[in-house]
Amino acid sequence: MSTQALLDKATQVRAGEELDLVRLREYLRPVLGTSLDSLQVQQFPGGFSNLTYLLSVGEQQWVLRRPPFGSKVKSAHDMGREFKVLTALGNGVFPYAPTPIHFCQDHDILGCDFYLMSCIEGVVIRKDYPPQMQLSPAQVRTQFFNLFDVLGELHSVDLHKAGLENFGKPEGYVRRQVEGWSKRYLNAITPDAPDFDKTMQWLSDKMPADSGVARIIHNDFKLDNVIWSAQDPLQVIGVLDWEMSTVGDPLMDLGCTLGYWAEAGDPDHFRRYRAMPSDVPGAPTRAEIVERFAQRTGLKVENIDFYFCFGMFRLAVIGQQIYYRYHEGLTQDARFATMIHKVHSLQKMCEQLIAKTDL
């Protein structure tokens, strides 16, 4: 297996998402304490939300994160929040977090907040496995269980040790999430968007009481937000995209990840829009993931259909917000045009789950 062939590579910056290199060089020169005359900027290809760029000067590399162009959802792209949690998770608290380097609030530089962090070089798996990564079903199963074990490690971080005991508001967290994401969907509706009224009402009616368990949660923990070792692709070496992290109910975090989990027995329309190869031979089912998660964390996992349904609905809202930007001409990224189809698929899955659940 070729290590170099598997490494996640930055490529040419997408049209409309270029950075002002003149201002950036001038600003970062004293920050980084090095000459930036030969600064090169590339862009990592994945993701529909915050934008990630690779800055390089010779062998030196840094990663720059900034909000997407044209987004009106500021709370989902809070660079300061992301920088704060990465700072707190440093010094061995959670060894998979990148090291934050610098945060900039001066909008004269790039027109937005942005920050720099360390570059973790490794493998990022997206919708399909790279052709060079030939894993057996047993290895696939191990890899995915390792993925959820790292999520469990995050949920086991001591809030006080990390200095994040006041980072969120765990009381009433479930209700705020259901109500908040419902409002976001209504604010992002386009004429071709599906009706989620039944799902929003069901989530409101079936939401469990506060569990009383408050943990650090990632809120977008999925395969392409994780970096794997190129030498051992079953080992997680980095976790990315912390802009929605907070302190809240870890079962909501688990549900958000399960919302991405299209398994082998799911309808074709749901599997068609999967974001990761979660339906290949060896991949665990959602039920197996829940059982493993409960064993590893010691958390009592009940009402899983609620959390899974919420995870899918939340993903639909994110997809609709992304599509809204395209529909309104706020972005030229052609990838966004297809998001409306995924939103319709998620609506079908939510209603199918509601129709068969015992809740």
- Please tell me the distance from the alpha carbon of residue 260 to that of residue 69, in angstroms, as a whole number: 25
Query: 312: closest CA among 234, 274, 255, 268?
Result: 255
Is residue 131 domain-resident? no
Strands 246-248 and 236-239: unpaired
Q: Residue 84: which residues within 8 A CB-CB, separation 6 or more? A: 167
**89 and 23 share a domain?**
yes
- Please tell me the distance from the alpha carbon of residue 289 to that of residue 144, in angstroms, as a whole number: 9
**196 and 327 share a domain?**
yes
Q: Which among 117, 147, 173 is the end of a domain?
A: 117
**141 and 109 share a domain?**
no
Q: Domain of 31: which CATH number?
A: 3.30.200
For position 287, what pLDDT does the model report? Answer: 97
**16 and 156 share a domain?**
no
* pLDDT tens-digit map of 102-145: 999 999 999 999 999 999 999 999 999 988 899 999 999 999 99
Q: Which among 117, 151, 185 is the end of a domain?
A: 117
Is residue 8 domain-resident? yes
- Mean pLDDT estimate for the chain: 92
Is residue 282 domain-resident? yes
- Please tell me the distance from the alpha carbon of residue 282 to that of residue 290, in angstroms, as a whole number: 16
Given a cut of 50, the residues of the chain with pLDDT beneath it are 1-2, 73, 75
Can you read off the two tokens belonging to residue 337? 């045009």
**158 and 216 share a domain?**
yes
Q: What is the dihedral of CA 334, 329, 315, 194, to 10 degrees?
A: -100
**109 and 177 share a domain?**
no
For position 2, what pLDDT does the model report? Answer: 45
Let me know how many helices (H) and strands (E) the chain has, helices first.
13, 9
**145 and 113 share a domain?**
no
**Domain of 165, in residue numbers:** 137-356
- Please tell me the distance from the alpha carbon of residue 179 to that of residue 204, in angstroms, as a whole number: 8
For position 306, what pLDDT does the model report? Answer: 98
- Rounded to two decimals, the pTM is 0.90
For every residue of 303-350, DSSP letters joined together read -HHHHHHHHHHHHHHHHHHHHHHHHTTS---GGGGGHHHHHHHHHHHH
Is residue 263 domain-resident? yes
Q: Domain of 190: which CATH number?
A: 3.90.1200.10
**95 and 152 share a domain?**
no
**299 and 269 share a domain?**
yes
Q: CB–CB of 353/309 below 8 Å?
A: yes
Q: Specify the number of domains making up the chain.
A: 2
For position 332, what pLDDT does the model report? Answer: 78
**96 and 208 share a domain?**
no
Is residue 46 domain-resident? yes
**108 and 148 share a domain?**
no
- Please tell me the distance from the alpha carbon of residue 222 to that of residue 76, in angstroms, as a whole number: 17
**179 and 295 share a domain?**
yes
What 8-state DSSP symbol labels residue 68?
Answer: P
Is residue 124 domain-resident? no
